[in-house]
Structure 1
């Protein structure tokens, strides 16, 4: 494998562009402090039947020696458009692109959430727990795929047990946290609770897409940009989302655009 360009930096480490077998690949390099997230993501990708056009393709993972320690590598399919956040920052969308983005994310999320049984083999339901525009990749055909499963939980259908890492207490990105996480009312023993959290995040992502759609597209902004700083605290988000019951603003002009009107209707059903 040849590694030659750093292409980004995330919460858990760096992402490099490399080459493997003549093909470009993305190499996520985790620090040793984030071994739990690296291991969890590897476990999730090892789940039976976790292959779908709208889920990022896993290639390999490895623990590599470095000086007196080690690096944790995860090799993934490379998508030159980057994340949905990156794409929305510099591109406004046509109605067709917006529909394709939202539909493909919904398709990937639905496949993650459902239990599937084929003979004796079972694909458990999986909830992402950190869904956001930065963790969605834009493919060359302008469909999307969901990535970054370091916080994911799996559903053991036969027992109803939720398989969650007990050594990684992170609960996702504060800006995207659902009200029931912020106010502590979530039932952590029920898998449906985690699916509902993912759906709330999906509603916020629809809002991000809708703002950048049509010839009246607005400047890209993160959800709740008018109400909190770039790096809000849990208390900041709890006040806005739970105490003040604020939700992202639906622009008046969306009602004049068929695609954005549909997006707004879906989003409001999800996040209210």
Structure 2
């Protein structure tokens, strides 16, 4: 199914990355390391499309037009070859495949080099649409945001409950929720922390979360949990509802503004409606949005065991359609 690289000066016959077709059938096509070098212009800066605590991400455009996202990991931080390969094969197995997860299609071990191959998602991330793309937030109506929340929750449910061993994501955030050609949400970067040496996870906070998404209990002990993932997912729900970033710098006041604290304060003052994205108001969806706001606030509860499990989150989101509808509408759903 997958093949790893030999050492840097290894046999060219083994110098191949194998990755499965989208259908996941038996026919796999091979891509050589030289193909990847050529497709990324020798990992040029112009090919970089992302970065993070794990390394850089490059866009690889193959000769037949196929586009891949190639994640180049920091080799000094990764597991040794055999352990790395075992973990990657688990992450790329059928059990780790779901329509709301970005599939790992191939990998490469070549000396100290570690590459992971994913399909390229041309529609970018939820973060792009909400915060960076001009007009992106306006384009995402409530029904679009709800569909994204539902899809992402199902992806998280799959890694929490249906993978063996179960996977804690550790870094759920809007930039790790990618949109496919149909704008369906796909959760990216799940399981990457399992590829890192245990004594290297202190090197960057991105290996255990991103500021604004990190649950408060991680400040006492750097032990990632599924309840911690639920907290981070709750922050993403708040982003969808408010259209605001999890953390914003307020230069005039010389302080940092945090979304979770602001929403909590506004709710305590009974000003629930005011936290909703102004671009979503006036369309008759307020009841549904407030229903999801209640869920988001349960997810970001400071007490881990007061948070719902991800299965409850999925069920809550599936029930949103019944909110604000007449009994006749509910019958016809």
TM-score normalised to the size of structure 1? Answer: 0.71
Paired position in structure 2 for 1:17: 59
Tell me the alpha carbon deviations over residues 88-131 of structure 1, each in whole angstroms, 9 at most, x when there is no partner.
12211211111111000100011111146xxxxxx332111111
Q: How many angstroms apart in 2 are the aligned matches of 1:79 and 1:165?
A: 29
- Radius of gyration: which is bigger? 2
CA distance 1:37–1:29, change in 2 (3 Å) = farther
Paired position in structure 2 for 1:161: none
Match for 1:104 among 146, 151, 159?
151
Q: Give yes or no for contact 1:177–1:197 (8 Å, CA) kept in 2.
A: yes
Paired position in structure 2 for 1:120: none
Q: Give yes or no for contact 1:82–1:138 (8 Å, CA) kept in 2.
A: yes
Q: How many angstroms apart in 2 are the aligned matches of 1:195 and 1:37?
A: 26
Number of equivalent positions = 227
2:292 is equivalent to residue 263 of structure 1: yes
CA distance 1:126–1:247, change in 2 (3 Å) = farther
Instruction: Report the Cα offset of residue 197 of structure 1.
Output: 0.3
TM-score normalised to the size of structure 2? Answer: 0.59
Q: Secondary structure at the match of 1:81?
A: coil
Q: Secondary structure at the match of 1:72?
A: strand
Q: Superposition pairs for residues 118-133 of structure 1, below 5 Å?
A: 123-133=164-174
When structure 1 is superposed on structure 2, of 175-184 and 135-144 the one drifting more is 175-184
Q: Give yes or no for contact 1:223–1:248 (8 Å, CA) kept in 2.
A: no
- Greater strand percent: which structure? 1
Q: How many angstroms apart in 2 are the aligned matches of 1:14 and 1:194?
A: 26
Q: Secondary structure at the match of 1:225?
A: strand
Paired position in structure 1 for 2:125: 83
- Greater helix percent: which structure? 2
Q: Which runs of 4+ in 1 moved over 4 A?
A: none
Q: Secondary structure at the match of 2:100?
A: coil
CA distance 1:152–1:35, change in 2 (3 Å) = closer
Q: Give yes or no for contact 1:37–1:150 (8 Å, CA) kept in 2.
A: no
Q: Give yes or no for contact 1:130–1:151 (8 Å, CA) kept in 2.
A: no
Q: Superposition pairs for residues 59-74 of structure 1, below 5 Å?
A: 59-64=105-110, 70-74=112-116
Paired position in structure 1 for 2:199: 167
Structure 1: state its 5+ residue gaps: 117-122, 154-163, 213-220
Q: Secondary structure at the match of 2:298?
A: helix
Q: Superposition pairs for residues 242-253 of structure 1, below 5 Å?
A: 246=261, 248=263, 252-253=273-274
Q: How many angstroms apart in 1 are the aligned matches of 2:60 and 2:217?
A: 40
Instruction: Report the Cα offset of residue 11 of structure 1.
Output: 2.5
2:226 is equivalent to residue 183 of structure 1: no
Instruction: Report the Cα offset of residue 87 of structure 1.
Output: 1.9
Aligned-pair Cα RMSD in Å: 3.4
2:239 is equivalent to residue 208 of structure 1: yes
Instruction: Report the Cα offset of residue 248 of structure 1.
Output: 3.8
Structure 2: state its 5+ residue gaps: 1-34, 42-46, 202-206, 267-271, 302-333
